[in-house]
Amino acid sequence: MSTLALPQIEPAAPSGPVRKRMSPWQTWGFILLAPYVVVFLVFVLYPVFYGLWLARHPQSYVDLVNDPIFFGSVINTLIFLIVAINLKMMVALFLSGFFIRTQPWIRWLSVLFILPWAVPSIPTILSVRFMLNPEWGIVNQVIFRISGADGPNWLNDRWLALSMAMAVHVWKSLPFWTMILIAGRLSIPGELYEASSVDGATGWQKFRFITWPSVQALYLTSLILSMIWTLGDFNSVYLLTGGGPADLTHVLATLGIRYLRLDQVDLSMATIVCALPLVLPLVYFMMKRLSK
């Protein structure tokens, strides 16, 4: 309790040969910082080191590489990152241009557009899962009614199922990134556009020479951040395909949890360690960018 009493003590009155006494302001600075520091040490730092310690056996990595599911998961993860994220960010950039327009109906649409992000993922992903059921799912029933042919078995083919998982991911997170890019576009001074209109610039030229240079940095940051988060996207794959068919649609995030559920903690941690070469450069890039 002595630290709590400190603020009342006159800092100008040194009591004994203490090495430079902390002022009450500094003391309070530490006290207020302490709760988060405790959370970080107990629930981030210790678990991370404990996890790395669990992943120390070379044998785990041999087992992991020999598991055919692992190789497939790495491929799936890369496809997810490269295809889905780039597609998503490009669409988000495009739609941000659409949603900054001021027509009332576009305002209303933008309110609805946020829904996928505002609503929790479990019920909506399960809803998509039912829509894609090959027998009674609404998608195949509509296909049957229109063409008379049976629709594809959406979640039973590796590439089709993976594409659907990527679509779910895009569906869920597109509104958020669009919102970020809208904020980016709104911070561009309107005079630039007015001046370019006077000079007779086309829409494409305005984008190329005004919009893009202004949002470029933000776009790149968003792209990297989205990649990092997508590496940890467990729900889109797990809730839609469960990793199936035959464990072919796992990504590293779901694979790690799969091993954990099978009580193979070593393999689980080894999977995560194998993902670090992907994660750490991205994290390093983001840290440099944001801690400026």
Partner 1 sequence: MNTRKALTEARLILIGIPVALWTLIPIYHMFLFALSSKQDAFSGELLPLHPTLNNFRIVFEEKHYFLIHFWRQLGNSLFIAITVGIITLVIAAAAAFSISRLKSRGGRLVMNCALFTYFIPAAFLAVPMYKAMGVYGLLNSQWALILAMITLASPYAIWVLKQASDKLPYELDEAARIDGATPLQLFRLVYVPLMVPSLVAIGTYALLLAWNEYLYAFLLLSNDKDITLAVALGHFLSADDSPWEVLMATGLIYALPPAAIYYVFRRYMVTGLTAGAVKS
Q: Where in 95-124 is the site for partner 1 (CB under 8 A)?
A: 95, 98, 101, 103, 105-106, 109, 111-116, 118-124
71 makes contact with partner 1 (CB under 8 A): no
The distance of closest approach from Cβ of residue 206 to partner 1 in the complex, given in angstroms and rounded to an integer, is: 14
Among 74, 93, 128, 165, binds partner 1 (CB under 8 A): 128
The distance of closest approach from Cβ of residue 38 to partner 1 in the complex, given in angstroms and rounded to an integer, is: 9
The distance of closest approach from Cβ of residue 240 to partner 1 in the complex, given in angstroms and rounded to an integer, is: 11
Q: Residue with structure tokens 């405790």?
A: 38
In terms of DSSP H, where are the helices of 2-67? 2-5, 24-40, 46-54, 58-66
Measured from the CB atom, the residue of 18 and 118 that comes closer to partner 1 is 118
Based on its alpha-carbon atoms, the radius of gyration of the chain, rounded to whole angstroms, reads 26
Among 14, 50, 83, 209, binds partner 1 (CB under 8 A): 50
> What string of H, E and C letters represents the secondary structure of 176-236?
HHHHHHHHHHHCCCHHHHHHHHHCCCCHHHHHHHHHHHHHHHHHHHHHHHHHHHHHCCCHH
Helix (H, G, I), strand (E, B) or coil at 147: helix
137 secondary structure, DSSP code: -
76 makes contact with partner 1 (CB under 8 A): no
200 makes contact with partner 1 (CB under 8 A): no
Q: How many residues does the chain have?
A: 292
207 makes contact with partner 1 (CB under 8 A): no
From 24-32, 80-88, 154-162, 190-198, span contacting partner 1 (CB under 8 A): 24-32
The distance of closest approach from Cβ of residue 71 to partner 1 in the complex, given in angstroms and rounded to an integer, is: 19
d(CA 89, CA 217): 13
